[in-house]
Amino acid sequence: MVTVPDLAGLEPVQTLKRRWPMVIGAIITLAMIGGLVRELFGSGLAGLSRAVPHDPLFYVAFTLLYLAPPVGDFIIFRKLWRIPLSGLAALLKKRIANDVVLGYSGEAYFYAWARQRSQMVAAPFGAVKDVSILSAIAGNAVTLGMIAIALPLGVDLLTPIQLHTVATSAAITFAMSLPFLIFSKRVFSLPRRTLWWIFMVHAIRLISGSVFLAFAWHYALPTVSIGMWLILGAARLLVSRLPLVPNKDLLFANFAIILIGQDAELSELMAMTAALVLLVHVILIGSFSLYGLLRTKNVVA
């Protein structure tokens, strides 16, 4: 006699399996809100209130800087999955989660978002994994390129200990990318030609971000030439990605003060830029949450 399974007993399990991406997305969203409140009301508002640039071109450059990561990801996933424009909101949340929760929590959120839309993409894990790995490799490649360019120019500004730390960090940065390149056929899921295209988009995004940051700083402190800000923008990207370097923000601030002086104005500008990023995070998360709440009410009604 064939035993018929109790379908009623299986329904909660099936419902849980269908809803786990939604649960993960909700948890990460709550974590983002908590992290933003802690960061912004901890020190962000103080930095934002001290020095607010009046040149509107600063805010144009800052907007381009802020949008560079999610727009770069949108271009990639638009090609891979043909995601709609609404997918840009999920990529903005991905960026916020990576900034204020934990590293790669944004990837977890975006993967859950893609799983909820299985009609759009059947197996999102491979693509999300490949794009994330290539983002790290592109960051390492751009960092190593900047080291090759900047180190001969700035060798006299570094102490022997700092020079040794930079050299060691550069070696580790290169070594971190090697396993992915050596075992690329086992690591990556996408075709090689597509992988190279994704790498190129990431590299352009990183370089563009440094340029937008340099222009934003120039419009905030126009007494410093745009060329000097471009050097500092590249240095910031370089310092932010080097391992073994403690107090990266402090190291970069000291380097910038040595180059251009104006330590009080520069410190306030750095604090204001960081606080402005947090403020935009808060505004976006609040807007997304309000939109989701209104949409849910309309569906229920």
Count the Cβ atoms, other than its own, within 10 Å of residue 142.
22
Residue range 180-207, pLDDT digits in tens:
878 778 889 899 999 999 999 999 999 9
Q: How many residues does the chain have?
A: 301
Please give the average pLDDT of every successive group of 10 residues along the chain, which has 301 residues: 43 46 58 58 53 86 94 94 89 87 78 75 78 90 78 66 71 79 84 94 92 89 80 75 63 68 70 81 85 72 59
Longest dimension (CA), the chain: 88
Q: How much is the pLDDT for 92?
A: 93
Domain ranges of the chain: 19-300
Q: How much is the pLDDT for 145?
A: 82
Q: How much is the pLDDT for 212?
A: 92
